[in-house]
Structures are given as C-alpha cells and as structure tokens.
Chain A
Amino acid sequence: MNINRRRILILLPAAAIAWKSVLAGTPEESPNYKMSDHWWSMLIDIPKCIGCGNCVRACAAENDVPDGNFRTWVERYHVSDENMTEPEVISPDGGKEGFPVATADAAKYFFVPKMCNHCADSPCTQVCPVGATFISPDGVVLVDQKYCLGCAYCVQACPYGCRYIHPEKKVADKCTLCYHRITKGLTTACCEACPTGARQLADLKDPKDPIHEFLKTHSVQILKPQMATGAKVFYNDLDGSVR
C-alpha cells in the first residue's frame, strides 16, 4: 500500500480512536493505591434503609450478576411481639424490585440489606482447597476465578449465604466490595445508588473515616457474632431477630 502524507493523516486519528476503545476494555491501573493503607468494611444503617432495591439493581448492573443470584440483597423482617424469635422474612427477587405493601398491624417492619461480610477470619477462604479465594491485604475477600475449581465448598462454609456458583462461569462468585472501584478512590455501586445513605463504605485504617466516630457513638452489631468470623459489615440498630 502506498502510504503518503494524506493517508497518514486519515489513518492516525482512526488508530487513536481504535486504541482508545482497546484501552476502554482494559481495567484502569491504580498507581497510587497502596493496599496496606486500607482495611475496608461497610456500615449499614438499618433505620435508614427504605427497601427500594436500588442497591441490588446497581450491584447487578455494575457486576453483571446472573439472574437468580445475588451479591447483595435486601430482606424485610416482620417481627411481632408474640413471637420475636421467629420473624417472618421475605426477599422477593432479592428485593431488587422493592417489596409488596406491608399489612398494617401492631408488629414491626424493617429492612436488612445483606452482602458478603468480608470476614477477617472467613470460613470460606479457610476451606478453599486451592486458595482460589483469599482475603486481600486491604481486607476484601476475593475469588480468583481463573483458579477456582468450582467445588462449592466455600458456598457451604459461608454462614451468611453470600456465595453462589456462577451458572455460566462455573466458579464461585460473590461481592467484591466493588474492588475495581474502591481501589480507584470510588465508593461501591450499592453505596453510590443508596438514596438514603443507609450503606457507607468505610476504611478502618483511615483515622479520618467517619466510621470511627459512628462506631463509638452507636449501638453497632455484626451478623451471627457466634460464628466468630470477624465480619466487617457493621449494622447500626440491628434487631435481635435478624439471622
């Protein structure tokens, strides 16, 4: 092909556009992110959750979560004072499309968003036979999907039901705490989409993070503390009936 100045002038911008689209498919590097400077967790403020399902939809869209499985979901509790230990719980389609109207009665209703607790002593990483699931130095439990066997032992070991086997990839899948976002200084998709601020990403290693003040001044719990998993998703005002 005869390359002259005219052709080069046409080809160069085309190549630049093509290269840009190649780069668009490549994850952006985070050169200034230092894993040892962070210890990620999440704060969930139960009284603020309105059960709109924004977080579930945002998570599904951001992370391409397969239908029928959930990296995060919302449960609605209905607790009557006659039977406080046996609540009636629903989570239709993970709360993705919100909830049916509650019947007016004397019992209390509240929403509980759920997700991976990114446990410091996580039973799921303990049992993985090849170490494909691991906790990163910044406290996020992740799965190396190129290494996972798909044995589902981690799914069995998670006390919170946060894991599933991806129906197409045939490997374990779960919340990554939007690792691709938080390492670039962004918050998670669920936190960003929450209209009431019921979910707050928190960095326990950052002394300026408001989580420290919050933990000092509120009654905060984790789920299933008897499991001793070192869960790092903190719930404000968690009712005793929540499982």
Chain B
Amino acid sequence: MQLAFGQVRLMNGVEGFMYPNEVGLQWSVLIVLYPFITGLVAGAFILASLERVFRVEAVKPTYRLALLTALAFLLVAPLPLQLHLGHPERSPEMYFTPHSTSAMAMFGYVYLWYLMAVLVLEIWLDYRRDIVLFSQSAPKLTRWIYKLMTLGSNNIGPRSLAIDERVGWIVTLIGIPSAFLLHGYVGFIFGSIKANPWWSSPLMPVVFIFSAMVSGIAGVMLLYMVITKLRKQTIDMRCVDTIAMYLFYIFIIDFSLEMLDLIHRVYEADESFRSLNFLVHTQLYIPHIVIQIFLGTLTPIVLLGITQVMKLREIVRKRIYVVAGCLTMIGIFAMRWNVVIGGQLFSKSFLGYTTYKMALVTREGLLVAIFLTILPLFFLWALIKLLPPWTEPSAHQAAGD
C-alpha cells in the first residue's frame, strides 16, 4: 500500500524526496505573468523617459505609444495576482492593514503611486492640449468622455502649456526611479526569500530592472513597427535604429548581470548547488539553457550586434529588429518562468524534484494566462483610439486646429 502510494507520487512527477507539503506548486503561470507584465510597464516607461528627460529626440515617435503601452499593461498587472489569491475579496486589506515587515505589503502602494502619480498624470499632462481640442471637436458621443478627461481645465494658452511641459518633465524625472522601484521591488519579493536559494540573491532586483528595460524597449519597438505597418505609414528608421541600439547595450548589461549571478553560483557551489545544477540540466534545460539563454538572449544580442557593426539595408535591419524583438520577448518570458516556476521545482531539502502541471481551463490555467497576455493589447487599442499617439495630425486634431 505504502509502496503503491510512493509509485503514485512518482507518477505525479516527484523524483527523489520532497517535503510532503511541497509536492504541488504554490505559484502558477499567473505569477509568471505578473513580473512579465510589470517588466513591460517599467521598460516602456524608461523608453519614454529617454525622449522626455534625456532628450533623445530620435525616439520621439514612440514616446506617446510607450506611455500608453505602459498604462495598458499596468492596468492588467494586478489581475493575475487577484486571480491567484485564495481570497481575492480580502486584497484591500493590503491597503488598510499592510504588514510593515512584508516585502509584498508595499505592492498596493507602489502600484497606485506608479499608476496615479506617474503614468496617468504624465499622460494627462502630455495629452491635455489634445483632450481639450477633442472635447470641442469630437463626435457628440465621445465628446463628453473628453470633457470629463479635461477635469475642467480648458486653458491651452502658451503659458499653460509651458507649465504642463515643465510639470510633465518633473513627473517623468520622478517616474524613472518609480519605474525602477516598481520592478526592482518585484525582484526583491523573490530575492529576499532566504529559504529559496534559486531566488535568494541581492542581484535579483537589479536583474529584474534590466530585464524589464529590455522587454519594455523590445515590446514598444515591435508595437511601433507593427502598428505603423498596419496604419500604412512609413517606419521612422532613425527612431527604430536608436531604439535597437539602446536595446543592444541594455541587453548586454542584463546578460552580464545574469551571467555574474550564474558564475557566482557555479563557483561558490554552496549546499544547494548540486540540486539546482541537476535541475538546470534536466527539467529546466529547455526553458533555461535553450530558450532563455541561447534563443532569447544570445541570439538577439548577436543579431542586434550585427546591426551595430555592419551597414545593412533598411529592409534587412527591419527584419532583424522584428526577429530580435520577438526572441527577446520569448527570452524574457522564459526568464520569468524560470525564476517563478523553476524556483518551486526542487525541494528545500535539496533531495528531490517535482513537476509543474499547468491546468487548461482553471482559474490559474493556460487559457486565463493567454487571455491576460492578450488583454493589455485590447486596452492599448482602446487607449490609442481615445488618445491617438501619432505625431502627424489626426482627423480630430485637423478639425480642432
């Protein structure tokens, strides 16, 4: 009977010895999505700040798109967490009675700060002139939405717009450390768990920040190229080349940090090393070594590197950017997967391994995960409809001006 039970456990994907409560994973694919989504938010915002604060004029065509992308993804960011909670109805307790020693307790405040004090405010300031114009010229049905969005501030005189510009600059300046905080903080949630050697690392928040920048920049670059193509407009190659250059250099920093972490672990070879090493060579071999490192990191770095050192035709560069961008997104998703899921596949006794079986239609299943990945794109579509990010005059603007 007991042997039969042992066999069942083996069939359930347990190898070696797991503490009995460890067999099932606590954090599912939804918790993989959370850092993936917030990473895109933080990265997109950093790209926007390149133009606003660091005056990188070349990336101006993506400035507003980056802000709207950040907002669209930020709106979805808490959903996977809510769906994961055993009692989502109790989540407001994190606002009312946050536990001062918990790394997670700050989540609500960091999220709200970033959403309201940074992103929404910056977008509103940047679009205020357009909103006022739309509120006068848009079709009746949508006019009231714009009227509401003006918040009663209809003055678009030069002095007023100059104040908007100045305040917007300050908000972006505050936004950069806030974006770092948002995602570095997510890294800290994992990095501060001393019970888990796969997570416990002071480098974790830094790696998260740089990987966020990589994914956000690649994401906005892809979105810009795809949307411009769909709009039958010309892709601004100076803009895309500049973004690709930043992506390349930040990717190198990100990869160096990850390798530093890896080399440190291998060389130090502490008590957890044998267990983790086994995991990386077995269950995590495909997602970690093949997908994350080779396909999702080294390949895009090499591809982007080629565009930096060789003079290539525009069409070739475009194709390389699209391929490198897609691979980057896959690589960063794999990185989140390997952190969250990989960190739960081994026993804290270092004597065994379990497997993650993703459900299909449950609350934390694959379909929900796919839905949550696509949902920000719908939000982005709605935001673009409401607040067109294009620099060329739209129908509304033409009518308003």
**Interface set of A (CB-CB < 8 Å, partner B):** 68-70, 73, 75, 86-94, 97-100, 114, 123, 125-131, 147-153, 155-165, 169-171, 227, 243
Within 8 Å of chain A (Cβ to Cβ): is B102?
yes
Whether the Cβ atoms of A130 and B350 lie closer than 8 Å is no
Whether the Cβ atoms of B194 and A98 lie closer than 8 Å is no
Within 8 Å of chain A (Cβ to Cβ): is B355?
no
Q: Mark B13-41, 1 if CB is under 8 A from A, else 0.
A: 00001111111001100000000000000
Chain A residue at minimum C-beta to C-beta distance from B274: A86
Which residues of A lie under 8 Å from residue B347 when comparing CB positions? 161
The DSSP consensus for interface residues of chain A is: loop
Separation of A52 and B35 alpha carbons in the complex (Å): 45
Instruction: Give the contacts of B181-200 with A (CB-CB under 8 A).
Output: 189, 192-196
Whether the Cβ atoms of B86 and A126 lie closer than 8 Å is no
Which residues of B lie under 8 Å from residue A171 when comparing CB positions? 86-87
Known contacts A164-B21, A227-B195; is A149 also within 8 Å of B2 by CB? no
Whether the Cβ atoms of A149 and B195 lie closer than 8 Å is no
Q: How far is the CB of B35 from chain A (nearest CB, A)?
A: 14
Which residues of A lie under 8 Å from residue B142 when comparing CB positions? none
Separation of A83 and B94 alpha carbons in the complex (Å): 47
Known contacts A165-B26, A243-B349; is A156 also within 8 Å of B196 by CB? yes
Q: How far is the CB of B275 from chain A (nearest CB, A)?
A: 10
Separation of A127 and B88 alpha carbons in the complex (Å): 18
Chain A residue at minimum C-beta to C-beta distance from B99: A131
Whether the Cβ atoms of A153 and B104 lie closer than 8 Å is yes
Q: How far is the CB of B368 from chain A (nearest CB, A)?
A: 17
Which residues of A lie under 8 Å from residue B91 when comparing CB positions? 149
For B, the interface residue count at a CB cutoff of 8 angstroms equals 46
Query: How many residue pairs at the A-B interface have CB separations less than 8 Å?
Result: 135
Within 8 Å of chain A (Cβ to Cβ): is B6?
yes
Known contacts A151-B85, A153-B104, A227-B195; is A129 also within 8 Å of B99 by CB? yes
The residue from A99, A152, A160, A227 contacting B194, defined by CB atoms under 8 A apart: A227
Whether the Cβ atoms of B17 and A89 lie closer than 8 Å is yes
Within 8 Å of chain A (Cβ to Cβ): is B143?
no
Which residues of B lie under 8 Å from residue A131 when comparing CB positions? 97, 99, 102
Chain B residue at minimum C-beta to C-beta distance from A131: B99
Q: How far is the CB of B28 from chain A (nearest CB, A)?
A: 10
Chain A residue at minimum C-beta to C-beta distance from B192: A127
Whether the Cβ atoms of B21 and A100 lie closer than 8 Å is no
Whether the Cβ atoms of B2 and A161 lie closer than 8 Å is no
Instruction: Give the contacts of B102-142 with A (CB-CB under 8 A).
Output: 102-105, 107
Separation of A123 and B194 alpha carbons in the complex (Å): 8
The DSSP consensus for interface residues of chain B is: loop
Interface-central residue, B20, B86, B196, by most chain A CB under 10 Å: B20
Whether the Cβ atoms of B20 and A151 lie closer than 8 Å is no
Whether the Cβ atoms of A147 and B348 lie closer than 8 Å is no
Known contacts A131-B99, A151-B85, A243-B349; is A156 also within 8 Å of B20 by CB? no
Whether the Cβ atoms of B193 and A89 lie closer than 8 Å is no
Within 8 Å of chain A (Cβ to Cβ): is B84?
yes
The residue from B2, B6, B23, B104 contacting A127, defined by CB atoms under 8 A apart: B104
The list of the 5 closest CB pairs from A to B, nearest first, reads: A150-B86, A161-B19, A170-B86, A159-B195, A243-B349
Whether the Cβ atoms of A97 and B97 lie closer than 8 Å is no
Separation of A56 and B94 alpha carbons in the complex (Å): 35
Which residues of A lie under 8 Å from residue B26 when comparing CB positions? 152, 155-156, 165
Q: Can you pick out 28 interface pairs between chain A and chain B where the beta carbons lie within 8 Å of each other?
A: A70-B21, A89-B349, A91-B17, A91-B20, A92-B9, A94-B20, A127-B103, A128-B102, A130-B90, A130-B97, A130-B99, A148-B86, A148-B90, A149-B85, A149-B87, A149-B88, A149-B91, A149-B94, A151-B104, A152-B27, A153-B104, A155-B21, A156-B27, A157-B193, A161-B18, A161-B22, A161-B349, A243-B348
Separation of A160 and B90 alpha carbons in the complex (Å): 27
Which residues of A lie under 8 Å from residue B371 when comparing CB positions? none
Chain B residue at minimum C-beta to C-beta distance from A114: B19
Q: How far is the CB of B197 from chain A (nearest CB, A)?
A: 10
Known contacts A90-B17, A149-B91; is A129 also within 8 Å of B86 by CB? no
Whether the Cβ atoms of A130 and B86 lie closer than 8 Å is no
Within 8 Å of chain A (Cβ to Cβ): is B374?
no
Q: How far is the CB of B78 from chain A (nearest CB, A)?
A: 12
The residue from A97, A147, A159 contacting B90, defined by CB atoms under 8 A apart: A147
